[in-house]
């Protein structure tokens, strides 16, 4: 969808694929944050339940994102906590935001793709933020123990214990109400898994996968990890996600693939 905007004196400009509500939307910017890196390439065999990658090695990365919407900020995924394991980041999200002259109190939303430990690890650093999380994931985290393996409630206890505001998302969530930042319902990897659409005026539309796919071969071949919660849902989510990417001519960022995150400027630069 391309629309031509015509201003007063017959001056027309083109906004690539932005929703009608975006005409007066505040500036949106997307900054990539470091949330960890694998030290060496490793086997990715576990990311296929059809034995598709017996030999393939990928050096996975762990990426988080800051979305600026006018004067409001959203952090998408929070990676591992500093020092949590050999793949954990060396600099916390708070210290990275400080380099941008931002404080945790300025972050209105912490939105997470899903409940795995490498996506929620630093959420507790933003206790005043509203937690946006898929209802399916929230129900697991706040439900009976023991939890399913790899679900990590510890960094989210502020919200699970009632100390922070939480909004559980059932379908899609248009975070700021103008279509510029939308959590896309992509269940399957976990019950409430979401991806994120960010619509930028200069750079165009960007789709952050969450863990809908973990690396390019996995995305291209509709690979389903062995540790998924719902195979059919993942395949349906991949189908929907790819159709959205095609329709909106979006740049797809597979969050764990270093080849992909390089499509966005290196920190501290932001895509706008
Ligand atoms: Zn995951």
Tokens of 58: 């990928």
Query: What is residue 19's predicted lDDT score, i.e. its pLDDT?
Result: 77
Q: Which of 253, 263, 175 is nearest to 219 (CA)?
A: 253
Q: What is the 27 CA–ligand 1 centroid distance (Å)? A: 30
Query: What is residue 6's predicted lDDT score, i.e. its pLDDT?
Result: 37
Q: What is the 54 CA–ligand 1 centroid distance (Å)? A: 20
Query: What is residue 183's predicted lDDT score, i.e. its pLDDT?
Result: 98
* Burial class, 151, CB count within 10 angstroms (exposed 0-12 / middle 13-18 / buried 19+): buried
Q: Which of 140, 248, 158, 255 is nearest to 204 (CA)?
A: 248
Ordered mean pLDDT values, 10 residues apiece, the chain (272 residues) = 38 53 85 96 96 96 98 97 94 98 98 97 98 97 88 95 97 97 98 98 98 97 95 98 98 97 97 98
Q: What is the 213 CA–ligand 1 centroid distance (Å)? A: 9
Q: What is the 259 CA–ligand 1 centroid distance (Å)? A: 18
Q: Is the model's pTM score more than 0.85?
A: yes
Spatial neighbors of 42 by CB under 8 A, at least 6 apart, are: 57, 58, 59, 60
For residue 74, the cross-strand partners are 67, 109
**Which conformational region is residue 210 in: left (phi greater than 0), alpha (psi within -120 to 50 degrees), or beta?**
left
Q: In this structure, what is the dihedral angle of CA atoms 254, 152, 267, 238, given to the nearest 10 degrees?
A: 10
Query: What is residue 4's predicted lDDT score, i.e. its pLDDT?
Result: 38
Q: What is the 20 CA–ligand 1 centroid distance (Å)? A: 34
Q: In this structure, what is the dihedral angle of CA atoms 223, 227, 232, 238, given to the nearest 10 degrees?
A: -40
For residue 252, the cross-strand partners are 207
């Amino acid at each position: 969808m391309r629309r031509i905007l015509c201003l007063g004196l017959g001056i027309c400009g083109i906004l690539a694929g932005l929703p009608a509500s975006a005409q007066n939307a505040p500036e949106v910017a997307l900054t990539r944050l470091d949330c960890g890196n694998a030290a060496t390439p490793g086997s990715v065999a576990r990311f296929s339940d059809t034995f598709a990658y017996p030999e393939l090695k990928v050096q996975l990365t762990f990426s988080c994102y800051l979305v600026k919407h006018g004067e409001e900020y959203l952090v998408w995924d929070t990676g591992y906590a500093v020092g949590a394991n050999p793949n954990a980041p060396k600099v916390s999200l708070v210290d990275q935001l400080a380099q941008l002259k931002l404080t945790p109190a300025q972050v209105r939303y912490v939105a997470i793709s899903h409940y795995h430990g490498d996506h929620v690890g630093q959420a507790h650093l933003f206790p005043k933020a509203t937690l946006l999380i898929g209802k399916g994931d929230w129900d697991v985290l706040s439900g009976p123990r023991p939890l399913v393996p790899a679900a990590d409630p510890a960094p989210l206890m502020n919200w699970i214990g009632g100390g922070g505001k939480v909004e559980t998302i059932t379908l899609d969530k248009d975070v700021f109400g103008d279509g510029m930042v939308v959590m896309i319902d992509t269940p399957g990897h976990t019950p409430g898994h979401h991806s994120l659409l960010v619509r930028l005026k200069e750079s165009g539309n960007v789709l952050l996968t969450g863990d809908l796919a973990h690396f390019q071969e996995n995305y291209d071949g509709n690979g389903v990890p062995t540790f998924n919660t719902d195979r059919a849902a993942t395949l349906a989510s991949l189908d929907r996600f790819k159709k959205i990417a095609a329709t909106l001519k979006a740049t797809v960022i597979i969050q764990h693939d270093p080849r992909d995150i390089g499509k966005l400027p290196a920190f501290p630069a932001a895509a706008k």
